[in-house]
Amino acid sequence: EKLLSPSGALSGKHALVTAGPTHEPIDPVRYIANRSSGKQGYAIARAAADAGARVTLVSGPVDLPDPPGVNVVRVESAREMLAAVEKALPADIGIFAAAVADWRVAHAGEQKIKKIGDASSALSLIENPDILATLSHRKEGRPPLMVGFAAETEKVIENAQQKLLRKGCDLIVANDVSTATGVMGGDQNTVHLVSAAGVETWPTLSKTEVARKLVERLSDLAGAMPS
Ligand code: CTP
Ligand code: CA
């Protein structure tokens, strides 16, 4: 299997990958989460290691084994993920496949929150740091090749093009995560590569195949950069 990717195409490169959801605490026993399984990000980390890269995988809570040959850093929240990512720098390639929670609870309870009679309850939410945008816009230490993902349920290409500009990354891997597609948690993915060069749509592939093809593409792009 390993022979399918050009061996050593990423040797000498450090690839930093994020994967999985984040969990944002509400109180000691509750959290906000999303349906990300981490499968696509884990497959990418594995494919990058197979291509000879040194790989750091910063992972939210998932039910997956560590990919062989990959340095896995496990975190819970978006803020922990950002800290772990910054600690892992410098990197030659950043691949941000994590489904980072957009919001966290403004004041997570130190004790379990109790029901108060018949009163309705509201959590007040604040925005999490955007890890991809933070790194892309760094003046120093920006990985030269920055890849983001765009999980969309409508206007997939249009939204991805806007994200490419807003986040300041070099490439966006966009996909349709509507429930009907079965992408979230499933083993297949239909992606569009969106960059300044245009849009390329790949056929539906397994997440392993998407990972291999993406790593092959990134090897070509990284080969064109000074190491
Ligand atoms: N991302 C990130 N940190 C965040 C939110 C998103 O690093 N706090 C990254 C994701 O890992 C992904 C890309 O940004 O690579 C796009 O994530 P997405 O959720 O699609 O974009 P958002 O900017 O959060 O926009 P929205 O969810 O409103 O569509
Ligand atoms: Ca988001």
Work out the average pLDDT over 37-58: 97
First-to-last C-alpha distance (Å) of the chain: 27
Q: What is the length of the chain?
A: 227
Nearest residue (CA) to ligand 1, atom 23: 163
Q: pLDDT tier at 2 (50, 70, 90 boundaries)?
A: very low
pTM here?
A: 0.94
Give residue 119's pLDDT.
64
Structure-block tokens of residue 58: 């910063």
What digits encode the pLDDT tens for the residues 135-147? 999 999 999 999 9
Can 34 be counted among the known catalytic residues?
A: yes
Is 163 flagged in the annotation as binding?
Answer: yes
The phi, psi pair for 212, rounded to 5°, reads: -65, -45
Write out pLDDT tens, residues 158-213: 999 999 999 999 999 999 887 777 777 788 989 999 999 999 999 999 999 999 99
pLDDT at residue number 178: 78
Distance (Å) from CA 170 to ligand 1 centroid: 15
Q: Is the peptide bond before 28 cis (omega within 30 degrees of 0)?
A: no
Q: What is the pLDDT of residue 6?
A: 53
Contact call for residues 192 and 199 (beta carbons, < 8 A): yes
Rg (CA), the chain: 18
User: Does 16 score more than 60 pLDDT?
Assistant: yes
Pocket-testing residue among 132, 155, 156, 171, ligand 1, by greatest number of atoms within 8 A of Cβ: 132
pLDDT tens readout for residues 64-92: 999 999 999 999 999 999 999 999 999 99
Which ranges of 68-206 would DSSP assign to H, the alpha helix?
Answer: 78-88, 131-136, 156-167
Which of 52, 60, 89, 88 has its CA nearest to residue 215? Answer: 52
Q: Which residues form the pocket of ligand 1, taking CB atoms under 6 Å from any ligand atom? A: 18, 78, 96, 98, 100, 102, 128, 130-132, 148-151, 163, 167
Q: Whose CA is nearest to atom 21 of ligand 1?
A: 150
* Contacts (Cβ under 8 Å, ≥6 apart) of 128: 22, 24, 77, 78, 79, 100, 101, 102, 103, 104
> CB within 5 A of ion ligand 2: which residues?
102
Model pLDDT, residue 223: 78
Name the residue of 100, 103, 138, 152 to mutate for ligand 1: max ligand atoms within 8 A of Cβ: 100
Q: Which residues contact 199 (CB under 8 A, 6 or more apart)?
A: 157, 161, 192, 193
Nearest CA to ligand 1 atom 4: 130
